[in-house]
Structure 1
Amino acid sequence: MNKNSKIFKFIDIQYMFFFEVIIGIIANTVLLLFYVFLFLLEHRLNPINLTIGHLALIHIVMLGTCFITIDIFGFQVLGDDITCKLVIYLHRVMRSLSICTTCLLSVLQAITLSPRSCCLAKFKQKSLPQNLCYFLFIWVLNMVISARFLISTIATPNVTSPNLMFVTQSCSLWPVSYLLKYITFSLMILQEISVIGLMGLSSVYMVLLLYRHRRQSQHLHSTKLSPKASPEQRATHTILLLMSVFIVIYALDCVISSTSGVFWKRNQIHHYIQMLVGNGYATICPLVLISTEKRMMKCLTSRS
């Protein structure tokens, strides 16, 4: 009876995994196409729109690599070292880029919302080459930090060893030297602390600006009236909602990773659950952005 319940639980996780990946890819594709279409109409690249489009593209690739690695459920699609290295490395790079780009989106929105008297106002007018330099920097940084996975990932379709860390049925991580492991781990921790810190600071700054604007509006309007929020304020509410979703999923992912030894083969169920949680932000993020984008919602409702 216990064995049957585990089998049914395993099948349910498979369905949930495929559903999450498919919904995420579709939603991110719709979001990316919308901003491409918006650019073709306006012939102008808004830094925030460009960042959202970049984030959607990252999530499409990230979820696509998850879809390729369906051999975590026993299909054994990945069969050689090169394929294992590329897929695992690409997924890791995309995951890190997702965090960095979300942080960049939060900082850009804080700059957009800041008043002209603030020192952040000088960063408002940035050219396209400068924005592309930011993207190039985070790409190179994350590719270097994740390079360890190109070294340690190997194909192990029919090999079992207590020294190998389980990733999928076909791929495992081989232990690397202590020095390389220490350097990589230190860079990853430093990056994540910096990114989370910047997100927190920009989010608190935006909340304070919104609170101050609300206080000023109450002096200009009757308390019975609710002044209509500006597009910048609505966009800020969306970014803050996105930050909240990210923090919740990130914290849940950290708890699962640190408490259950998810990479070891004897705990494959925990690994699958972590995959579901880890992909949660890439799936929920475009749904939040689409639901709060009035132009897109009008387009979708008019088509329906």
Structure 2
Amino acid sequence: MISTDLPWRVAFLTLIKIGLLGNSSLLCFYTFTLISGLNLRPVDKILNQLVLANCFVLLSKGIPQEMADWGLRYFLDDVGCKLLFYLHRMAREVSLSTTCLLGGFQAFKLCPLASKWMELTVRSPKSINFLCALCWVLSFLLNVHVAVKVKGADRSQNTSMGKAFASCMAPSTSIVTYSLLSSIVFFIDYVLLGLMIWASGSMVLFLHRHKQRVQHIHSHKVSPRLSHEDRATHTILILVTMFVLFYSISSIVTLHMALLLTPAKWLADTSVFMSLCFPTLSPFVLLSSDIRISKLWLAWLEKCRSFLFYVGLCITQGSLEDYHK
């Protein structure tokens, strides 16, 4: 069920390259910010974990899919196949739990009744470190069954990468056990999705009430703190909405494939495409909304402009000296 059509090849190639570029850029920025402590925000640790999980999703899901599309020969053994799928499921779960944590963080931060509690607990570095580590630990434990049920293809056969990649998903457990484990995973996933929807509703309600309060103020000046909170709320709300949308579509397509005896190729391609949309698009939402990155970009452009001006001045002076000689 691996597509060989050129449009799907181009689509996957574009998504993977753009996504890796955006996430790696943000990962370098957030890592430098965490190490240096310059303009560090409490939410930066959560965002750093999100872009790291996005990188793992693109590498573990997108790269094998791209190799399969181009008909490359199979090179993974049974252990490599288990690690590949385990890494993908764990990174996907970390991305889900981190996005939920990000939405809940902002929702509690905006809640008037929980503001004091947020200042003392959730916004503290130790609490954020614990919650981020908890996302990885729970994802690690929740997907242990993947390493057990997944088997690699037979390398002795002349198998293409596409066929072998598809056979990596063959379950080695009974149908009852597989259904039970899948039900537990889906239940936890949709609980987290429900928390995301609750956080999104809370943020939308806050923005609506804040807009009504601002309308009663005759002056157009709003406090910088409120302006910053509004900007952060809009960004997180966009991220949460994107995740819920793409995850829901991917889940519906995957469920439809499971109910069919011979699902069409475009269903498999659509499921993979939707699973790659969020890790590809989310870093650009963060890049466009972070003022610190905009300032760095403007400073870099200013340095480039100054450098080009200096080079042009040197060339002009050299030409004048040659002319006088």
Query: Which stretches in structure 2 are left out of the alignment for 5+ residues?
Result: 158-162, 302-325
Map 1:12-23; keep pairs closer than 5 Å: 12-23=7-18
Greater CA drift, 196-205 or 209-218 = 209-218
2:88 and 2:259 map into 1 onto residues whose CA distance is 17
Contact 1:221 1:227 survives alignment (8 Å): no
Match of 2:90 among 88, 93, 101: 93
CA pair 197-285 structure 1, distance change in 2 beyond 3 A: same
1:264 and 1:60 map into 2 onto residues whose CA distance is 33
Q: How many residues align?
A: 289
1:283 and 1:195 map into 2 onto residues whose CA distance is 21
Match of 1:235 among 232, 244, 251: 232
Match of 1:58 among 42, 53, 57: 53
Identity among equivalent pairs (%)? 27
Match of 1:251 among 245, 248, 252: 248
SS in 1 for 2:151: strand
Match of 2:22 among 17, 23, 27: 27
1:40 and 1:155 map into 2 onto residues whose CA distance is 40
CA pair 54-262 structure 1, distance change in 2 beyond 3 A: farther
Contact 1:210 1:233 survives alignment (8 Å): yes
Map 1:1-304; keep pairs closer than 5 Å: 10-42=5-37, 45-69=40-64, 70-73=66-69, 74-115=71-112, 118-119=113-114, 121-126=116-121, 127-157=124-154, 168-169=165-166, 171-221=168-218, 225=220, 227=222, 230-261=227-258, 267-304=264-301
RMSD of the alignment, in Å? 2.8
2:111 and 2:190 map into 1 onto residues whose CA distance is 24
Contact 1:253 1:274 survives alignment (8 Å): yes
2:132 and 2:276 map into 1 onto residues whose CA distance is 22
2:294 and 2:38 map into 1 onto residues whose CA distance is 21
2:258 and 2:176 map into 1 onto residues whose CA distance is 22
Contact 1:111 1:120 survives alignment (8 Å): yes
Select the structure that is richer in helix. 2
Q: Deviations over 1:34-93 (max 9, x none)?
A: 222333443575331110011011111221112441443232344310000000110011
Query: Which stretches in structure 1 are left out of the alignment for 5+ residues?
Result: 1-5, 161-165
Contact 2:83 2:147 survives alignment (8 Å): yes
CA pair 182-297 structure 1, distance change in 2 beyond 3 A: same
1:32 and 1:66 map into 2 onto residues whose CA distance is 19
SS in 2 for 1:220: coil
Q: Which amino acid aligns with 1:109?
A: Q
1:253 and 1:267 map into 2 onto residues whose CA distance is 15
Q: Deviations over 1:162-206 (max 9, x none)?
A: xxxx78256232242234223312221221121111111111111
CA pair 172-36 structure 1, distance change in 2 beyond 3 A: closer
Contact 1:110 1:206 survives alignment (8 Å): yes
Q: Which amino acid aligns with 1:136?
A: A
Contact 1:13 1:273 survives alignment (8 Å): no
CA pair 111-258 structure 1, distance change in 2 beyond 3 A: same
Aligned-residue offset at 1:16: 1.4
Aligned-residue offset at 1:11: 2.1
Contact 1:262 1:274 survives alignment (8 Å): no
2:280 and 2:182 map into 1 onto residues whose CA distance is 27
Q: Which amino acid aligns with 2:198?
A: L
Q: Deviations over 1:267-304 (max 9, x none)?
A: 44432221111110000110111111122123224434
Contact 1:199 1:243 survives alignment (8 Å): yes
Q: Deviations over 1:237-287 (max 9, x none)?
A: 111111221222122212221223499776444322211111100001101
1:175 and 1:268 map into 2 onto residues whose CA distance is 24
